[in-house]
A and B are shown apart, each in its own frame.
Chain A
């Protein structure tokens, strides 16, 4: 055993001493390392907080809209001088004149043409549509005088919300001293108020920020998602069932599997190019329509839902299959009678998450023309329409200051939908969670 004794000399014998000396440095390193971790988590969470709070603070004001109360006289000689009460005449009448008159009565001291023009601009140019709609809904109001709340122009709205500071020199703000003094008069008279912005939820897009709403986009998103769901859910589940329950393990199925994983990582804009080249140029489906958007998004969410469904199927214990097969059920019966129902909650969760992803997707939809300016609320999946995220993109590009808050508010609505969908997914998972 001579060589053992020899080599044993090199095994450290004063370990404790050496270790003790090095401890301080090592603990300093430990602390530093740990601190990096804390900093990293804080940075990431800070990013989240800043993102949400910046949008929240920018956006919440859009849920209120400045309105002006005016006494409008529905003067027959203006609206319907011929007295026909025909829809055609009523719809082309000069409602702006009613507004102007009401404004002049409110501010009799305004005399010059230029001032008058400015005065009329306090009220949104879209207010005439409200008057027209009111008259056409109930022509009997012609001849009467009603006190109505009408949408103020975006400049007035921004002034009231403090986005146009009064302290700025007059030539640097979009609203002059005179206009401000009129606004102040209106406030004093109690005829200018911030009210809940119903229009934001009930109107389609508009060039005027004060009249722009997200209803069109929400309905567009709804139809798009509906198409996506109808296409993607059955196919993904069927594909998952085949791959998980029936497919033999060979090169073909391995290839399909690799393919699905790769497809999940393809940039979304490429799906848009696919949609443009095939669905629009080859198949000539309608541009800007939810049906094409839904098709593209269905292909995009396919891998996500397949992967989630396979995981759900895999989590059903083999003993269930063995029990059914043991009773003489066919494989198909086993799957559809026993395995699939048990995997359903997991599949639903995956589907909802996939749908949430589709709801937030923008880029591929730009490729298939869902960026058009569309005022009307779509009536079905083949009507031209836009979707919520694309609406956000369009508004974010608009130069008017008032669109900033609307964009943020639309984002809040979008996030609201996403949060509820994810909450539903989490709820489903918690509720049907099974421990075998």
Chain B
């Protein structure tokens, strides 16, 4: 079951497939090398190098304003939409540099889904919210298929039971936590292989948070997940790898257990024990 759901390596993705096999043995999904980001003259990220692996949850932690969201947005080139923003360095996904000319942003973003820090459902019905992605990409074969996609996405985001009887109501009418899960469902519906989540639980109560954490654990069977979180406990619970950012620099990155039990850098130590941040 599991093997079936993994992306077939021979599938031509992103227009190129030559280099792909090189990284496959060690399941490297995203390779970030020497990435720097500038907002106008202000530099927000400095020389980030980071490897992210398939079927794992990677947690990004760090004090507010250290550039976690900025980093996350680089991975599916959302920063292109900000006029003043400039990204240097290389980010390779499946061995292909995403800023390469041959890579198309639309295609890239359909493969790398993102869930934003603040829930942002469209002011449309719940159904339209979830079906939007499949519709623009032409993923559904017919109406029934589209219904299926919507249902299963909501199901996986743990929202189906709550909204199955009111799919026509506006998504903006849901509670904060429900909205966030709606946004997750919307992202999954496209069938991406990497999901970027920017503090998906910041507006949620413990029960909803537990649901989402459960969801992440399950999603990781099929997807690669990168999550930004301010909760150390959450990072410890859901992630296999953790990266610690501080003032725009990647301070330390490694197995979650190791980061939390035996950090190499004193700043990491300080942060996880609550002395900076």
Q: Would A and B touch once assembled, by the CB under 8 A criterion?
A: yes
Binary flags per residue of B33-63, CB closer than 8 Å to A gives 1, else 0:
0000000000000000000000000000000
- A7, A17, A18, A22: the one within 8 Å of B156 (CB): A7
Nearest CB of A to B220, in Å: 13
Complex CA–CA separation, A18 to B110 (angstroms):
10
**A15-B110, A19-B107, A26-B106 as given contacts; A10 in contact with B137, CB under 8 Å:** no
Measured CA separation A40–B148 after assembly (Å)? 41
The 6 closest A-B pairs by CB, nearest first: A7-B152, A10-B148, A12-B191, A15-B191, A12-B139, A19-B110
List A residues 198-229 near B (Cβ within 8 Å).
Answer: none
Distance in angstroms between the alpha carbons of A19 and B14 in the assembled complex: 10
A1-60 contacts to B (CB < 8 Å):
1, 3-5, 7-20, 22-23, 26
Q: Contacts A8-B156, A10-B149, A10-B152 given: A15-B139 contact, CB under 8 Å? A: yes
Question: Are A13 and B191 closer than 8 Å at their CB atoms?
Answer: yes
When the two chains form their complex, are residues A18 and B152 in contact, meaning their CB atoms are under 8 A apart?
A: no
B5-A13 in contact (CB<8A): yes
Do residues B111 and A16 form an inter-chain contact, with CB atoms below 8 A?
yes
Point out the residues of chain A lying under 8 angstroms from B134, CB to CB: 12
CB nearest neighbor in A for B219: A8
Q: Is the interface of B mostly helix, strand, loop or mixed?
A: helix
Q: How far is the CA of A7 from the CA of B147 in the complex (A)?
A: 11
| With contact pairs A11-B188, A15-B110, A16-B111 given, residues A3 and B139 touching in the complex (Cβ less than 8 Å) | no
Closest B residue by C-beta to A16: B13
Contact B191 A4 (CB under 8 A): no
Instruction: Pick the contact of A7: B13, B106, B148, B222 (CB < 8 A).
Output: B148
Q: Is the CB of A11 within 8 A of B137?
A: no
- Do the beta carbons of B138 and A23 come within 8 Å of each other? no
Given contacts A12-B149, A23-B107, A26-B106, contact A7 B155 (CB under 8 A): yes
Query: How big is chain A's contact interface, by range?
Result: 20 to 34
Cβ–Cβ < 8 Å partners of B149 in chain A = 10-12
User: Is B199 an interface residue, CB under 8 A from the partner?
Assistant: no
Whether B104 pairs with A16 at a CB distance below 8 angstroms is no
Structural contact, B11 and A4, CB atoms closer than 8 A: no
Tell me, yes or no, whether B1 is within 8 Å of chain A by CB.
Answer: yes
Within the complex, what minimum Cβ distance (angstroms) separates A172 from chain B? Answer: 61
Instruction: Say yes or no for B263: interface residue by CB 8 A criterion.
Output: no
In the complex, are the beta carbons of B137 and A3 less than 8 A apart?
no
Give Cα A377 to B65, complex, Å: 70
- Give A1's nearest chain B residue, CB to CB: B218
* Given A14-B11, A15-B192, also A22-B138 (CB < 8 A): yes
User: Are A15 and B106 in contact (CB-based, < 8 A)?
Assistant: no
**A contact residues around B139 at 8 Å (CB):** 12, 15, 18-19
Is the C-beta of B145 less than 8 angstroms from some C-beta in chain A? yes
Known: A15-B139, A16-B110. A7 touches B151 (CB 8 A): yes
Does B106 contact A19, Cβ atoms closer than 8 Å?
Answer: yes
Indicate if the CB atoms of B190 and A18 lie closer than 8 Å: no
Q: Given A4-B156, A11-B156, A23-B104, does the pair A16, B14 have CB atoms closer than 8 Å?
A: yes
CB neighbours (8 Å) of B14 from chain A are 16
Chain B CB count within 10 A is highest, among A5, A13, A19, A23, for A19
Known: A11-B152, A19-B138, A22-B137. 6 other contacts (CB 8 A): A4-B156, A10-B151, A11-B191, A15-B191, A16-B107, A18-B137
**Residues from chain A with Cβ under 8 Å of B188 in the complex:** 11
**A23 in contact with B218 given A10-B148, A11-B156 (CB within 8 Å):** no
Pairs across A and B, CB under 8 Å, 10 listed: A4-B218, A12-B139, A12-B190, A14-B191, A16-B107, A17-B12, A18-B137, A19-B106, A19-B111, A22-B138
